[in-house]
Amino acid sequence: MLAFTSVLFAAPALAQDPSAVVLMYHRFGEAKYPNTNTTLEQLDAHIAYLQANDFKVLPLPEVDAALKARKPLPPKAVAITIDDETRLVLVRSRVFGGRGQRGCAGPCAV
């Protein structure tokens, strides 16, 4: 959690040029893999932090296109990525509740 908030806290200071923070997750709620797991409680806290601090979640391809074209991004732009394409069903159904059970129905890249 410390690394998460440290990166996001620094985001506005980095925003002189088009910029965004990219959060990469690997797996959720799988305690048997502690090195790459994010608990659902941690995920809830991360999303609550993003919402409470007015971060704008964007699709990664949109962030990538803006950076390549040197076009402006909204202040506090964030992209959320999830490693391992095979986890798409898990992420959308169990973790994010399909329509944003955790308040993050927005774009995620896999």
Q: How many other C-beta atoms lie within 10 A of the C-beta of residue 59?
A: 14
Question: What pTM value is reported for the model?
Answer: 0.66
Q: What confidence tens digit (pLDDT) does each residue in 46-82 have?
A: 888 998 999 998 888 999 999 999 999 999 999 988 7
Question: Is the confidence at residue 100, as pLDDT, over 70?
Answer: no
- The CATH number of 2-109 is 3.20.20.370
